Structure 1
Amino acid sequence: MYITRPDVKGQLLELTANTPQQLRQTNMSAILSVMRRSGALTGTDLIEATGLARATVIAVCDDLIQAGWVRELPAQRTAVQKGRPARVFEFDAAAGVVVGLDFGVAKTTALVADLRGNILAKATERLVEFTAPDAERLASIDKAIRTALASAGVTHEAVLVAGLGIAAPVDRAGNIPHSQPFWENFDIGIQENLRDRYGWPVLLGNDANLAAMAERWIGVAAGSDDLAVMLAGERIGFGLMESGRLLHGASGRSGEAGLLHLVHGVGTPEGIAVLARDMALLACKKGLPKTVLSTLAGDITAEAVFAAAAGGDAVAARILDDIAKRMARVISLIATFFDPELVVIGGAVAESSAVLLKPLQAELTTLMPNPPKVAVSTLGDAIVTLGAVRLALDYVEKHALELVPRA
């Protein structure tokens, strides 16, 4: 198996470790990092990838097998091979699982994934009311988790860490600002509750930031280092990445779009779903031009509006055009300050929003030179939960030697 060998990376490892214990941990981290991103590997493969000596590689692999992170596969001998067959090692993705959670206004979604990020199960619990008592909301989170774990066929003891996304800013210490009542509604002690109940580390993240992590991981933005992901369902919010690094801000509010009422031609931070619904309801009032939207009664959605526009309904087409122009103004504002190469529209309305791309991109060219490319996410309403999974996996990768595999 061929693996690109980093320039003298392995040789530098031994120079930067100050004690035998640090050297051991550094070597283990280097080998584990390679194995997580590969399939079955021989000792020779690992030597080429890390630059470590053969004796070191074999000793570290034995340590990782004993720790539960790596398993040894049957050795394979070729027809022309002489001597002892090469030992074969593989990262054990079933050494534990992670949980990703999206705690929203109307529902909680839980994903269970193995340590390579393969999704094993999903469960959703709906909330009757966002302002329900804290105990009721915490119970809905717990039920979603337990249902997902049962569907995955694992117990809570197998979970190494959980990631949790909320529609509020989160600072670097994991705190939620209390400058807006809506944000305060998410500060109900979820982390403490889950830690006390299950003993897991629980990582809190802003939903738009997690959406950006998901897109860069497995979405249309894979490989993009300068990226903006716009969650634009009910309200507009951005997750921003610069040089592959999330931007948080002093209190976690980078990407918040709360002052859009100051922007000419925008007026509110309302998202695509709200705008399409409100504009359609206004267009259905008596005395206005006839539209197929009037036959939908109270069941008007962004998807229905965009479908009507695609079917030739003139009123729906004007609504689509108005929304495209408004979103273009929002994107041009963000692009002026942060200069992303790609802007991704994500969230529940992303798929239906594909019809916005052409008029939106055209409007952008009138607002700024060299506008960013705009794309629509393919991750659907799982985008935040997948980002929470990525957040949890990043934690496992960083702290693997401090964690104990539980599967």
Structure 2
Amino acid sequence: MTSLTLPHHDGSLEQYRLTGTPIERPHAAPTFNRIAYAAAHVVSDPLRDADPWGNAAIDWDQTMAFRHHLWSLGFKIAEAMDTAQRGMGLAWPGAQQLIRRSLAEARTVPGADLACGAGTDHLSPADARSLDDVITAYEEQVGFVEGEGGRAIMMASRALARVARSPDDYRHVYGHILRQTKDKVVLHWLGDMFDPQLKGYWGSDDFDEALDAVLSIIAANRDKVEGIKISLLDNAREVALRNRLPEGVLCFTGDDFNYAELIEGDGEKYSHALLGIFDAVAPSASKALAALAKGDVATFRGVIEPTVPLSRKIFEAPTQYYKAGVVFLAWLNGHQNHFTMPAGMQSARGLLHYADIFRLADKANVLDRPDLALKRMQSLLATLGVEQPG
């Protein structure tokens, strides 16, 4: 059987027939001419008794297996980032375990690489009283990552967004931390569409003022900044940042709406990638990036562009719940044996959203195991009241 009954937003049902073709796997991890980080999700363990909101149980075997999947396709991993539900189901103690385990696992894989999210999420924004509180929190997490032998991605801080009063406060905090780091770090500009508590980051709601602030931080600490990930879902703003970065400082697109054109570039400049959607479309992204490295722009576009409508659906508002769509596809594609998430986050999206993802994933050739995806989608539909004929 290659079809199933799917609901539409008008309340009607349709018989949908699969048309996609799975992307073939490379014989060996390909090489890219763009740095490509896939921000990876975690797999919960529904059979262990735990507090799902504050101390989620993680299935470490399946979580690590997924990282091997990404490494085999040529990706670096952005570990313990918002895709792993940092601050939305994965608290700092769980993140510490994840970072430690992933770093150890990477050492067993030739060529495997990762960078790890270090933020302030163990400090409740309501408990932050001063910039010194934020500095202490950053010092703990960056120190932990570097102490485990890892490189840090300096995640945006809800606590800093709450207590900072000007761009100078951001300069003070970031400068203090960057002067201490052992290695270069990646900065993280996450827009408030991903996290409403980050509104006004870098000290201003005005983009141009925020841009000037973060560029001044980079200029003052150029020897400690590998690059900056920007996730504003606005390609013009990313290009504005990219065009003003100092020589040698990289722009990593986190734009899950416009990544195809930003990675390809404008003929002079391009963005590298640090993307949550690469978790969900890894085989397609790997094939596309490998083609781009060979100068085959037509194949790059032909493979990557069909994934963009899927990504825009997964990351639609409220964008912070995109993790549900990412894990949904991991389940459909057989990377985990259940569709449950830390904090019960699978309930953050509804059946119509998942039905749309299913259609778009098929059209984008993202369903790696169509028979399994069909069976699992049918089970979800039945659980939520859409029976299949026969």
Q: TM-score, normalised by structure 2?
A: 0.27
| Structure number with bigger Rg | 1
Higher relative contact order (CA 8 A, sep 6+): 2
